[in-house]
Structure 1
Amino acid sequence: MKNEKNISILKEMAESVRICMFTTFSKDDEFGSRPMGTAKIEEDGSLWFFTNEYSLKSKEVSKENNVLLAYSDPGNNTYLTVKGVAELVDDRVRKEAYFSPFIKAWFPDGIDDPRLILIKVVPESAEYWDASASKIVVLFSTLKALVTGDTPDLGKHDTMKF
């Protein structure tokens, strides 16, 4: 039951933003980040992305598959980071199901583009901040904390395991 709740929170927050900073790590403690659009979040919580099979990102995923996804919606004061394990997947059925006109801008030949491959990220843990109250409420809470010496109540914050 807890996992279903965590997946629901993950889906709601990530789907509202769609674009994340997709960070890969190497064994040399180097990392690379790039913006990527989430193509799909499945019911089990796995996140799917389209990419070029021959890109540096694909090479990084195939060598060291731990990734961090960072979703940010400053307008709604919501933030989500997801730690997970990534793998390259060549699945024609999923390509057809998840492909969109937006993806066509990078892959004009559509699902038949020989460079097109999917990245599947299985989440292991996530952390989120949700202060989706209006900016006035957040400002008031911050000012009140300054006056009273308390910590401002800026909404929900939690860590989740999958």
Structure 2
Amino acid sequence: MQAKQEEDTAIRDRMWKEMAKSPFVMIGLVGSHQHSEPMTAQLDPDANGEFWFYCNKDNRIAGGGEAMAQFVSKGHDVFACIHGTLTTETRPEIFDKYWSKQTEAWFEGGKQDPNIMMLRFDLKDAEIWEGDQSLSGKLKMLTGQTIKPSEAGSHAEVAL
């Protein structure tokens, strides 16, 4: 049991590290029947269970609620489906903390745009998959050989 928890923690930590390199997710509200959309997550290395999004007040996720976010790392070797709750972030210090020139480019009125808002995604649980990083696993994939379950990578179900 302890070994499984340690493995799950290592996989979760890798997901955070990979998200820091490429903080783009597809996110949608559970039960809304609207397609998920790409958003840039604002990550904090010290926040292990939340991240943020800037969006317009008329965005399809602006109403908040139960949500699912999907993440694929740049190298396509970490995949995650993250479940949580979106709520309006009202703390000005958080809004200011993550503001950047890249963020400003998305909002015509900049930081003072009356249509801008910030959402906080509080993570509840996630399923995370790591692809096989070994040379033999990659070779088997390229040549169409059968990959054994022990060579397929790691999987974790993580409650946050």
TM bucket (normalised to shorter chain) is 0.7 to 0.9
Q: In the alignment, which residue of structure 1 is the partner of 2:28?
A: 23
How far residue 115 of structure 1 moved from its aligned partner, in angstroms, is 1.4
Aligned partner letter, 2:62: S
Structure 2 residue aligned with 1:32, among 19, 30, 35?
35
Aligned partner letter, 1:155: G
How far residue 96 of structure 1 moved from its aligned partner, in angstroms, is 1.1
What is the aligned-residue RMSD (CA, Å)?
A: 2.8
Query: Structure 1: which 5+ residue stretches go unaligned?
Result: none
Aligned partner letter, 1:52: N
User: Does residue 55 of structure 1 match 2:59?
Assistant: yes
Quote the sequence identity (%). 16
Structure-1 separation of matches of 2:132 and 2:51 = 23
Aligned partner letter, 1:14: M
- Determine if contact 2:26/2:39 at 8 Å carries over to the other structure: yes
- Determine if contact 1:87/1:121 at 8 Å carries over to the other structure: yes
Structure-2 separation of matches of 1:26 and 1:152 = 36
Q: In the alignment, which residue of structure 1 is the partner of 2:108?
A: 108
Structure-1 separation of matches of 2:38 and 2:76 = 19
How far residue 105 of structure 1 moved from its aligned partner, in angstroms, is 1.3
Bigger fraction of residues in helix: 1
The change in CA–CA distance for 1:140 and 1:124 in structure 2 (over 3 A counts) is same
Structure-2 separation of matches of 1:36 and 1:138 = 32
Structure-2 separation of matches of 1:119 and 1:137 = 43
In the alignment of these two chains, the number of paired residues is 152
- Runs (4+) off by over 6 Å: none
Query: Structure 2: which 5+ residue stretches go unaligned?
Result: none
